[in-house]
Amino acid sequence: MNVVRLGAIARKELLQVWRDPRSLMIALLLPVVQMLMLGYGVSLDIKHVPLCTLDREGSQQSLALLKAFESTQYFDVVKILANDRELTAAIDGGTCRIAIVIPPDFSQRLNDSGTSSIQAIVDATDDNTASVAAGYAQAVVASFSQQVQLYASSVQGRPAVITPIAIQSRVWFNEDLESKNFIIPGLAAMILALVGAQLTSLTVSREWERGTMELLISTPVTPMEVMLGKLLPYFGIGLIDAGICIALAVFWFQVPFRGAFLTLFATTALFLVVVLGIGYLISVSIRSQLGASQIALLLTMLPTTLLSGYAFPIDQMPAPIQALTYLVHARYYVTILKGVFLKGLDLVQLAAPILALMLYAAVIAFFAARAFKKTLD
């Protein structure tokens, strides 16, 4: 391998990127835009659910219960209803996602028998939001019921009923249960997979479209020098993009970082080898820049988004789909990112996903090195 020829190819490829506004935009602007848009736009936290109330009684106790709903961050009381017609219109029109209906005998039954009930009408067009909102409502009612029970016990002069077993939960790694701490580290994998494959998928196909492949083939450069020379600039760009994503995650979105930057750098470099190799294989196989770009988008964006564990937990997928995720390279990098960011794992503790990425990189490098032929066929 000739270092001078390798440097010439790398320098030529870097100039191609510098003179191409589209490539520059993908390389430098796209990671920032994606991090900001997805960081703010994608959230699994369900808070401030629009809530309507229909209080048929209007007593002190019913108002206290409704006040309990107002005081939580999970509900926003958007409308106080007067009758069933307004309730139906509010649910049908999307004014509220859940409606709390208090019967006219709520306080009387509560005082006479110590038990009463209310009705929660939930808009289940979005089943996930509906189930979470119903769970929040049950928690609010359970807390209010406990307060009523303690008050009744103190008034009647009898000891309060003590629950024999209580759970005291302690949350590790994501103490505030914020979905951004779960989602944003995985964004780096999606962005690097998309940007890396998109850029490198144009490297060889660009030569065919511009008619410069004959000149490249006539030079004494070897296929290995062509591959390394074309990929080295994008490897450097990928590390810059990774630094941008990590900086935004840590300093802008305040995602906790508990691991070592050296661990993250080493695994990111390994992931870039895989991504760039996939893009190079696509570029060698498809001579059209548009076709190569579309195939690269299909092979990186969809698997990374749907099957890497970035947004959807893998252990909740059907068994055949879980088995399919082992073929997705981003799965291992997402596991590493979350382990380094939230758990502070080191190289030894991340040995399994790192070894999987190394195997993936070896296979991709093997095929990529043999993909380019110095012929015009």
Domain residue extents for the chain: 8-43+178-371, 49-156
**How confident is the prediction along the chain (377 residues), in pLDDT tens digits per residue?**
778 877 888 888 888 778 777 777 777 788 888 888 888 877 777 888 999 999 998 888 889 889 998 888 889 999 999 898 999 999 998 899 999 999 998 888 877 777 788 899 999 888 778 888 888 898 888 888 878 777 666 666 655 555 555 566 677 887 777 878 888 888 888 888 888 888 888 788 777 777 777 677 777 778 788 888 888 888 998 899 999 999 999 999 999 999 899 999 999 999 999 999 998 888 888 878 888 888 888 888 888 888 888 878 888 889 899 999 999 999 999 999 999 998 999 889 999 999 999 999 999 988 888 877 766 55
User: Pairing between strand 98-102 and 119-122?
Assistant: antiparallel
The predicted model scores a pTM of 0.80
Structure tokens at 269: 């470099």
For the four alpha carbons of 12, 14, 20 and 22, in that order, the dihedral sign comes to positive
Q: Name residue 314's amino acid.
A: I
Superfamily of domain 49-156: abc type-2 transporter like domain (3.40.1710.10)
Task: Provide the 3-class DSSP secondary structure of residue 185.
Answer: helix
CB atoms within 10 A of CB 144: 18
243 vs 90: CA distance, rounded Å: 48
Q: In which element (H, E) is residue 75 found?
A: strand 75-80
